[in-house]
Structures are given as structure tokens and as C-alpha cells.
Structure 1
Amino acid sequence: MAPPAIRVENLVKRFGDLTAVGGISFQVDEGESFGFLGPNGAGKSTTIRMVTGVLRPDAGAARIAGYDVRTDTDAAKSEIGIVPEQFNAYPDLTAWKNVMLAGELYGIPRQTRKSRGTELLRSFGLFERRHTLATNFSKGMKQRLMLTMALLHDPAVLFLDEPITGLDVESQHLIRERIAELNREGRTVFLTTHNIAEADRLCDRVAIINRGEIAAIDTPDALKQTIERTRAVEVSFNEEVTLDTLAAFSTVDAVEKRGDTIRLMTPDPDTVIKAVVNFAQEENLTLRSLQTLGPSLEDAFTALTEARQ
């Protein structure tokens, strides 16, 4: 039986009196798309740096495809591709030379890196710009170049740190689709992001880390069910309505204005919907929209992290 793509066992890292990561454990199965979420300062970056061999843990172990990152560093690193949040290619080299240099560093034979580099640059829409200096690329193009470089040696596990933050819509779509395609092909994807909707869309499972501890690990749907009581009725009227009026409805816990809609938080959507319809009829208002909403992954994230403050 093949080992998990990533196994983390009781990983600890301290900086002076601060325990940044406090003995966490989890595993990511081969071919899984795994999200790693947490508020700022939660221990995400420290964990990733230990798992990828950049930072030495004070205790515990991390393994990539069965290789101990601390004792079998070269073997472990050969199995991973890393796309950091910050651009790390050489700005004064062309895209092609950056890709070829990455291939040399990984020890890939010349013809293999040329054919593989051509294939990847084409797939990310960069082949026609391969002779352009990286410094002249847009942020989206730079991100695509880093993905090309990270995938050149055909790693089993791909680590992505905020892969679409700040990108234009076209680049977001291309990178999102390519990540999903890589995962469908059997590549293990480890995604660190602040974009909770993105994790919900792309990930099979999600871990939420807070204050150096794992608050929860499960599928996005299962995490949402942990706060199933948090539901909402979202309504829009043809005229302005005071929030206090709607807040007075039976079973409404809170009211939020969101653009031209109003969201009524409630454990009993049926009662609230009937109250909204009656209210509209009595006040001679037109309902432009009316829908019920279940809890989101963002709701679950907020509940789980706030519970540990």
C-alpha cells in the first residue's frame, strides 16, 4: 500500500516563548486536493515551511511520499513542487531561461526539460512570450511562470500558497482550471489560501489551523454541517425597508444588509419566509428575490476560529 502523499506527526515549532505550531498531526492522501486555512498568525506558513523542508521543526516529523523531510531531504524535495505567494523567478531572465534553469537545478536532462518546458508554457498560455523578460510580465503571467517551473520535474505533490490572490479574472480562471485538471490527473494538491470560497470550490478536504493547533479537518460540506443551525433567509424588496422592522420577526437572530439584499439569520427559515411574505403583502411591497441560504465554509471557518480565541 502506497504511503500518504503527506504525513505530519506531532509537529512543533517554537520561536522563543512563542509556540507557533503546537504538536499538530494530519495526513493528505495521494491524489487529494487539500486546503489549509487559518487566520493570520495561526501557524500556516510555519507549518508549510517545515513540511517542505525549509524550516527545521523542534519536534515531530513530516514525510512526503514516505520520505522523512528531515533525514531524507533530497528524496522528499524531489517529490514536491512549490509555488510561493511571492514571485521567485529571476526577473532579468526570460521566461524560457527561467524554466530551463529550473530544469537544470532539478537535474532534468536537456531534451526532457526543453520538451516539458514547451508543453507547460503552452498549457499556461506563455509560449508566445517565452523570450520576454520575466520582469515585464503581469502578476498573472508571473504566477503562471512559477507554476510552470514548479511542475517541470513532474512532482507528485504541488504546494500552492495563495495562487490566485490579486490576479486578473483571466489568470484566475486559467490557474483555477489548471489546478483542477492537475488534481484530476492524480496530482496531490496542497492549497494554502485566505480565499475560503476558493478552498470550498477546489478542495476535497480542508484543515483549519488556529493558534498553532488544528481546529478541524473534514470535507467542506461536513464542516458546514457543524454549524447547520446557522441558516439565513435573503430577501430583496422594491423599496427600502428598515432593518429594525425585519429584526423584530419571530426567530430572527440577526439582520445584515448586503448590497440591495437583506439577510435574516435564523434557525427556522420556514417561519421567517412566511413572515416576510405577509409583511410584503401588508406593506404593499414587491418581493424582488427571496431565498434560503445554508451555512458556508466561511461561516464554519469563523465559528471554529472564534471558538478558540
Structure 2
Amino acid sequence: MHIVITGSLGNIGKPLTQDLLQQGHAVTVISSNPEKQKEIEALGAKAAIGKLEDVAFLTKTLTGTDALFAMEPPNFGAPDHIVYYTTIAHSYVAAVKAAGVKRVVHLSSWGAHLEKGTGFITGSYHAEQVMNALRNVTHLRPGSFYTNLYRFVDMIRHTGFIGSNYGGEDKVVMVHPRDIATVAAAELVKTASDPVRYVASTDITASAAAKAIGAAIGKPDLQWITFSDEELTKTLLDRGMQPFQVAPLVELGAAIHSGALRSDYDLHPPEVMGKTTIEDFAKEFSAAF
């Protein structure tokens, strides 16, 4: 098969590209960064340099291909994340239809079943609605990326704890990007599949996650403290973040804390969890710490 991957060589894109190449597929990787071309080609894939919002570029890249891994690369600088997500989703739909691509696997998120109240994930909800115009699309809904925990490195160093507006005994579905890549590789070669598939490596309390991280970095008493929404808002604003960036982050954390974000996941959990445990990731965290 000839498969196109979006997301460049990011945390998902690189292992996904490697998996597909090892299986003998021809792979084209789309990146907006010309400097990535050599790295992409060194893996054995073809590089396509351009913007996902450019329908003509996307159509040309997709013509003659069998499947597409479609994602909206994170852009926390976008003033309106819903507009950002839906713009790219509309570009995918137009290009896929014009190029006649038969299979699409779309990276969405847990919580994407909710139209509102989930912060940045509302972008995934709206993207799914747009992408549903395609006949053979599967939305992958991964939990919170393990790699999101890296943003707490400085907090741990300076305060000795992890803190957000969720924590303690709040349960968080977490996943390693490699495990997402594994599922995506399997889905891309299917002729058809379910419209939604959840992807997770573990389902764990915030306290248990902090304990695993703490054990790996030599801080066995590491705690995950729960702030109020107001406390988190003030903290993020004081750090220099813009209000349009802060509000969705606070809303997302509140949805995790209330359990709203996981309400559909609990009804349709994955049959098989990913291979990467929190202890496995804690070793990676320790190396970065």
C-alpha cells in the first residue's frame, strides 16, 4: 500500500512511519518544515513539504495513495482552536474526495464525543463532525499523552509536587505515542473498521502516576495536588500565557476532574491496552528530568 502520514516526524509520526516501512508499505510523510526532508528520506519515506490548509498541495500529495493518517498538529498559538481544527479537517475532506483515497484514520482525542466543556478537545469534536463526511474514516481517540507530563518538570524541580486543577484520586486515561502509532498502523491497512476506536496504555489515578514518576526520579513522596480552577488560571496567567490559551487548559482539566471527559471512554474502552506502562514512561521521564 501507499500511505500518507501527516504530523511530520513527531511523537506519533516517526514510529508510525517506521512501522509501516518495516511492513513493506510505501510511505509519504507530510511536513511543513523543509528541514525535515532529509530526516524523512533517511528513514526510507518520501517527503512532501507543504501546509495542510493548502487543498491543492494536499490533493496532489494524496493522488494515487491508498490511505491517509490525518491529524491536526497541536497549535496552542491559534487564537481560535475550533477554527484551526475545522479548517484543516475541511482541507482533508476536500483533498481525500478529490484524490479518491479509500481509507482514512483520523487522530482525535478522548472526550471528543462532547461538543463543549472540554477546552482544546472541542476542536477534535468539531474536526470529527467535518471528517464524518468521508465514507471510510476511523477516529482514533487516545487518552492523555504520557508526554504531556513533561510540562510538569519545572514545577517538580521548583515546588516538589505536581499540580493542576485535577489530581489526587482523579482517574486519567494515559497513552504513549508509540502505542498510538501501533494502533494507527494496524487501522490504516484495514479495508474498513469501526468509526471510533479508543487508544490507551493505562487508566490510572493522578496520585498513582505521580508515585511512579517520583520513584523514577528519586522523589518517592511526589504528590499530585489539585488546584482550584481560579488558582490554576492565576498561575498560568502569571507565567505569561494569554487568556485564549489559559481558558481551554483550565476547562480541559476541569473536565478530567469531573469525569465528563471519560464518560464515553468508560462505555467503549479498548479491548487491548497499549504495551507502555506508566513505569516504562517514568524511566523516559527520569532521563529528561
| TM-score strictly above 0.5 | no
Q: TM-score, normalised by structure 2?
A: 0.31
Larger radius of gyration: 1
Q: TM-score, normalised by structure 1?
A: 0.29
User: Which has the larger strand fraction?
Assistant: 1
